[in-house]
Amino acid sequence: MPLVKIPVVLRQSVGGAKEVDADGGDVGAVLRSLADQHPDLQSQLFGPDGSLNRYVNVYLNDEDVRVLDGLDTTVGESDVLNVLPAMAGG
């Protein structure tokens, strides 16, 4: 099952975990399955129309899914998804 790495600012929404397993054959399915398990994530990850919020970067392994097929990017069983919003702390 693909592994999703959760950034600091979203950990509270998943019970504090740094990484969680989530099922799905593409990026959209994995993230929707994650939001189903943790409903607080729904509005943090997705806009009202179901598209990924622009302020959330998602990487499949080390590549930004925006340069792949976005939410339709195929995800393998051993892939890692990194969810990454910008941070401004200095």
Partner 1 sequence: MSPSGAEVIRKIREQVEEVDPAEVSEHLGNGVVLVDVRESEEWDRGHIPGAVHVPRGYLESRVDAAVGDRNKRVILYCASGQRSALAAHTLKELLGYPNVASMTGGITLWKDRGYKVEVPKTLTTEQKERYSRHLLLPEVGTEGQAKLLDAKVLLLGAGGLGAPTALYLAAAGVGKLGIVDDDDVDLTNLQRQVIHTTGRIGTPKVDSAEATIAALNPDVEVVKYPVRLDASNIMEIIDGYDVIVDGVDNFPTRYLLNDATVRLGIPVVSASILGFDGQLAVFKPHDGPCYRCLYPVPPPAELAPSCGANGVLGVLPGTMGMLQATEVIKLVTGIGEPLVGRLLLYEALGATFTELKVRRDPQCPICSRDPSEIADEEMGVFPDYEAFCAAAG
Q: Candidates 17, 37, 59, 70: give the one binding partner 1 (CB under 8 A).
A: 59
**Sheet with 19-21, side-by-side order of all strands:** 19-21, 3-5, 80-85, 56-60, 63-64
**Which range touches partner 1 (CB under 8 A), out of 21-29, 30-38, 50-58, 70-78?**
50-58
For residue 56, what are the contacts with CB-CB under 8 A and spacing of at least 6? 44, 45, 83, 84, 85
CA distances from 32 to 20, 87, 90 (A): 13, 23, 32
Q: Candidates 7, 23, 33, 37: give the one binding partner 1 (CB under 8 A).
A: 7
Q: How far is the CB of 51 from partner 1 (least distance, A)?
A: 13
When asked if residue 10 is in the footprint of partner 1 (CB under 8 A), the reply is yes
For residue 88, what are the contacts with CB-CB under 8 A and spacing of at least 6? none
Q: Candidates 9, 36, 47, 76: give the one binding partner 1 (CB under 8 A).
A: 9
When asked if residue 16 is in the footprint of partner 1 (CB under 8 A), the reply is no
When asked if residue 29 is in the footprint of partner 1 (CB under 8 A), the reply is no
